[in-house]
Chain A
Amino acid sequence: MDNQSQLLKGILEGCILLVISRKEVYGYELSERLHQAGLTMVKEGSIYPVLARMQKLKWIKGTMKPSPSGPNRKYYKLTSEGKEALKQFEENWDDIIGAVSQLKGEM
């Protein structure tokens, strides 16, 4: 996450919220999901500082639970604050997409 890192960080945050809102996931599962979706421009490991930040903001809550493969893993779920943040992100995102495509269309 070197260039345009602030922008990418915001997008990464939104994508993490999206994934967690669909299903409770643990760290590695989350990073796999993001990569499958094509978010390959960020290093896999960069989700952990973001997850820590989002827990501090109380957007998500982690619970240690047994995973299907055995060991206890920390599964994340969205809080009501997180749902609010996701809503905000989706609105912003639609606005950005709208603005960017309109400007691109004018070129």
Chain B
Amino acid sequence: MKDIIKRNRELQASLNTHNEKVYENMVVYIRLNSLSERATEETLLEILEHLVIGQQNGKMAEEIFGSDLKAYCDDVLVNLPKETKALQFMNILYFNTLIFMWMFIPKTIGEIIGLFYPAFSEDRISLLPFLISWPFTWIVIWAVLKAIKNSVYGSKGWIALGVSTFVIGTISYVLTDQIFKDIWTVPMNLLISISITCLLFTLQYAFKKYSTHLETKISYI
């Protein structure tokens, strides 16, 4: 899988400015999906190889893929296979652990700084901000990805939506952290905090490893 992406990068360097721009747009638009990553990368590489040879024969990307590049990409997308259920499940576990890990890291940093400046250290923390921010993080990720994808072929309005969701998401995390400070609290200190972070780190690493393992084993099923 890494080989495919590496080869893709090498080949892309041989494109001229126009074809490179067209191909980059296709990559962004086609890669941002929830379909089989392996099948996606294999098809992108084939398209790139074709474009490179076509360019050597003096062709422009539009002569190969048609002038409606969005329609072409949509055609590729509807025909790519989905991830297997096992892989989808593993990816969901991975991203959720990752989200909790990143929400917890600031707490741990706070505890470490707290060793020197006790004001930063917290004896109890509320669980509520985590639970509120969790679905919010998914919404932000969804909106930002949607914004990037849709901005490729036109509709710039999505960028504004993506950016504002991101800003609202960040503000809401900071606010809920303050507002719900004293509700649903659990004891906290440096040891607990570091343990949880390490546990989450190990879990997300294991999930990612297993997900990659599933990905290399299964291509078109």
* A contacts, CB < 8 Å to B: 1, 26-28, 31, 43-46, 48-53, 55-56, 58, 61-62, 64, 71-74
Contacts and interface: CB of A to CB of B under 8 A. Distances in A.
9 contacts: A26-B49, A27-B49, A45-B72, A49-B72, A49-B75, A50-B79, A51-B46, A72-B3, A73-B49
Interface string B69-91: 00010011011110000000000
B106 interface: no
A56 B75 contact: no
B76 A49 contact: yes
Given A27-B46, A55-B39, A48 B76 contact: yes
Interface in B41-72: 42-43, 45-47, 49-50, 53-54, 63-66, 72
A49 B66 contact: no
Interface residues of B, number: 26
Contacts of A61: 220
Would you call the interface of chain B mostly helix, strand, loop, or mixed?
A: helix
A48 B46 contact: yes
Given A43-B66, A46-B65, A71-B49, 9 more contacts: A27-B46, A28-B49, A44-B54, A45-B50, A48-B43, A49-B76, A52-B79, A55-B220, A74-B46
Given A45-B72, A49-B76, A58 B220 contact: yes
Would you call the interface of chain A mostly helix, strand, loop, or mixed?
A: helix
Q: Which of B66, B75, B81 has the most CB of A within 10 A?
A: B75
Given A43-B65, A52-B43, A74-B42, A31 B81 contact: no
Contacts of B220: 55-56, 58, 61-62
A58 B39 CA distance: 13
B65 A45 contact: yes
A61 B43 CA distance: 13
Interface of B: 3-4, 7, 39, 42-43, 45-47, 49-50, 53-54, 63-66, 72, 75-76, 78-81, 219-220
Contacts of A44: 50, 54, 63-64
A54 to B, nearest CB: 9
Contact of A56 (B7, B54, B81): B81
A39 to B, nearest CB: 15
Contact of B64 (A43, A56, A58, A71): A43
Nearest to A43: B66
B47 A55 contact: no
A65 B76 CA distance: 23
Q: Which 9 A-B pairs give the minimum distances between C-beta atoms?
A: A45-B65, A53-B79, A52-B79, A49-B75, A27-B46, A55-B220, A45-B64, A49-B79, A56-B81
Contacts of A56: 79-81, 220
Contacts of B7: 71-72
Contacts of B47: 45, 48
Contacts of A28: 49-50, 53
A64 B46 CA distance: 11
Contact of A52 (B3, B54, B65, B76): B76
